[in-house]
Copies of this chain bind each other. A is one copy, B any other.
Amino acid sequence: MSTSETGRDIPVVYDLSPEATIDDVEEDTPYLGRVNGVVDYGVFVDLSDAVSGLVHESTLGEASYDVGDELVVELDRIRDDGDVGFRPADLAEYDVVTEGEGSTEEHPAVRTDELDDHAGDTVRLAGEVVQVNQTGGPTVFGVRDGAGVVPCAAFEAAGVRAYPEVELGDPVSVTGTVEHRDGAVQVEVGDLRVLDGEEADELRADLEDALAERARPHDVDPLVEWPVLDDMWEDLREVARVVREAVLEGRPIRVRHHADGDGMCAAVPIERAVERFVAEHYADPDAPRHLFKRLPSKAPFYEMEDATRDLNFALGDRARHGQRLPLVLMLDNGSTEEDVPAYETLAAYDIPVVTVDHHHPDPEAVDPYLDAHVNPYLHGEDYRVTTGMLCVEIARMIDPSITEDVRHLPAIGGVADRSEAEAMDDYVDLAAEEGYDAEDLQDVSEALDYAAFHLRYDDGRHLLNDLLNVGCDDEERHRDLVAFMAEQSRAAVDRQRDAVGAHVEGERLDNGARLYRVDVENHAYRFTYPAPGKTTGSIHDRKVEETGDPVITIGYGPDFAVLRSDGVRLDIPRMVSELEDGIVGGGVSGGGHLVVGSIKFLPGRREEVIDALVEKMADAEIDEDLGSTSTAPLED
């Protein structure tokens, strides 16, 4: 009550602040409302952004109202379903008192993981905006605090962006009602305010602490005791941390992995661990699918086409669903200069990239673009430490509960990559504990090759899980699939070798090695399994076995050659570099190791290139201990 100039008591009418909610409305108290809708059975009035209700026609008398009119009302009732009814307050004159922010009752501040206990309540929430999804109805803000992410729906008008000033990454305070929608908890926004100054700083600091805390990888013991892993442990932890952080921040993860056995043994455990971690953190059962995508790369590097496609996809998701740009995770791939154009494209958008690879790296070229780069060569080790061995540990740091599912994978990846790492025996023992003997590991590796070829650009999620026995619900099906595909693979390789075999040309080099050349394009089945790399390998292995001598095999096509050696020290990178300079217009490029490699050239210079190559090979040193049967495989 206030008192009028004439001394009479003049009733006070409250004009609620826009942030007020239904909890601020008290019975027997007059409030100033504004008509926002006129219907047959009454008028709807707004008391604040969040408080709205019907004044039933039966209480309105003869008066008629238009949208925009002011009307003093009192609370009539709150229905069980939350709908609010008002009745006109019959006041001849009154004073209006604005209920500012100060007078608004403070709503309880809650964390996202406490919302379930506050269904129906109006609460206050502080966090960072991690998604802004404009739907046909409300604008849905994903708000992350230290405990999780919750959708906050704000309605301005159908399909109209609410709070257009609020952007991804803003620190905000949300006041609203806790609801269940399609069963999942969400907040219906009464008010949403971008924090600034000290408040913002405090929130950011809190969130950063909470994020750092929650992103911290699990402490696990390595699957095997191996000093190499100890040396690289902190690098692996950093990758696990970055991945967990991305999940917690609502940032999607896009894995690009080499489409071979080791690449799959690296990517599948990460996929499994991340999906579990996402499921634990997000109520939405579709979240793992929205936040994680695994894509095989056919080339042994990140092709511009793939990077362009990934970028397009990410920009589209951002535009359509307000999602953050992704973290790109390169597995068994991504360490070399050839990856730079792709990385540079992503860098223009500040897309973070993390690489775990065991191919010979060009750290000077790639590291400027990488948030983390794990590679055994950076620790004085080499390709024998497979990517699968490393990624299984990263996956366990992300979610240790997957350990039982993936203990046999390092051995499979190792066999696929013909690794002779010291720890291979231990890994093989681990696999044996899971029921895989040496032959089984070979079979799985062979079956993976066969499946990868036929899957092409498909991630083949379920098929791979069944082949690798990761979350496969039917052990017998796993065994059947592996047996059948390994057998198909071997039959196809035999058939290809038989076809090509008749066309292998052999000679003795000056250094005593046997050299075999074969045209794997004209004398092999085309567009069919196995591809030229594996075909050449199978010829080579056979020749090594048959002759017992030092053997070099060259499988060539119109613009490429695949090289394998046993017993001859080739140093292929040096040879490539000499050919690059020596043959004008040859367009020679390529790479590899001492005894295995591949080169590309321009079709018109094939003869010259191969002749020059053979000349160099004839000068190469014999070293009976060297063998390509125990080295990283060829890229097809």
Contacts and interface: CB of A to CB of B under 8 A. Distances in A.
A136 B182 contact: yes
Interface string A89-130: 000000000000000000000000000010111000000000
B341 A285 contact: no
Tell me if A's interface is mostly helix, strand, loop or mixed.
mixed
Interface in A344-360: 344-345, 348-349
Given A117-B67, A120-B40, A312-B460, A584 B522 contact: no
A309 interface: yes
A81 interface: yes
A155 B136 CA distance: 22
Given A345-B484, A462-B316, A602 B78 contact: no
A63 interface: no
A189 B531 CA distance: 54
Interface in A572-622: 584-587, 602-605
Nearest to A284: B136
A477 B585 contact: no
Task: Please name the 6 residue pairs, one residue from A and one from B, whose CB atoms are nearest each other, closest first.
Answer: A502-B585, A137-B183, A315-B462, A39-B120, A158-B183, A522-B604
Interface stretch (A196-204, A374-382, A435-443, A448-456): A448-456
B312 A458 contact: yes
Interface in A313-349: 315-316, 318-320, 341, 344-345, 348-349
Nearest to A279: B159
Contact of A39 (B83, B119, B519): B119
Nearest to A82: B41
Contact of A136 (B183, B309, B341, B348): B183
Given A80-B85, A158-B184, A502-B585, 19 more contacts: A22-B40, A37-B120, A40-B121, A54-B80, A56-B80, A134-B285, A136-B182, A136-B286, A155-B183, A159-B184, A308-B451, A308-B463, A311-B463, A312-B458, A312-B461, A315-B462, A319-B462, A345-B484, A348-B481
B585 A499 contact: yes
Contacts of A602: 499, 522-525
Interface in A271-296: 283-286, 289
17 contacts: A39-B119, A40-B78, A134-B285, A135-B183, A135-B285, A158-B180, A308-B458, A316-B461, A319-B462, A344-B488, A349-B477, A499-B585, A499-B586, A501-B585, A502-B584, A503-B585, A522-B604
A409 B289 CA distance: 39
A169 B81 CA distance: 39
A138 interface: yes
A500 interface: yes
Contacts of A460: 308, 312
Contacts of A586: 499
Nearest to A37: B119
B604 A80 contact: no
Contacts of A345: 481, 484-485
A421 B593 CA distance: 56
Nearest to A450: B304
Nearest to A502: B585
A521 interface: yes
A504 to B, nearest CB: 9
Contacts of A159: 183-184, 283-285
Contact of A308 (B135, B316, B341, B454): B454
A480 interface: yes
A454 B304 contact: yes
Contacts of A37: 119-120
Interface in A125-177: 134-138, 155, 157-159
Contact of A40 (B23, B40, B85, B499): B23
B315 A525 contact: no
A185 interface: yes
A418 B583 CA distance: 35
Contacts of A137: 182-184
A304 B463 CA distance: 13
A65 B305 CA distance: 61
A545 B136 CA distance: 58
Interface in A475-520: 477, 480-481, 484-485, 488, 498-503, 519
A191 interface: no
Contacts of A79: 80
A604 B184 contact: no
A70 interface: no
Nearest to A185: B158
A559 interface: yes
Nearest to A491: B341
Contacts of A477: 348-349
A308 B462 CA distance: 11
A526 interface: yes
A526 B134 contact: no
A184 to B, nearest CB: 4
Contacts of A319: 462
Interface in A26-61: 37, 39-42, 54, 56
Given A184-B136, A184-B158, A311-B463, A83 B81 contact: yes
Nearest to A156: B183
A455 B83 CA distance: 52
A519 B602 CA distance: 11
A604 B121 CA distance: 79
Nearest to A79: B80
A526 B559 contact: yes
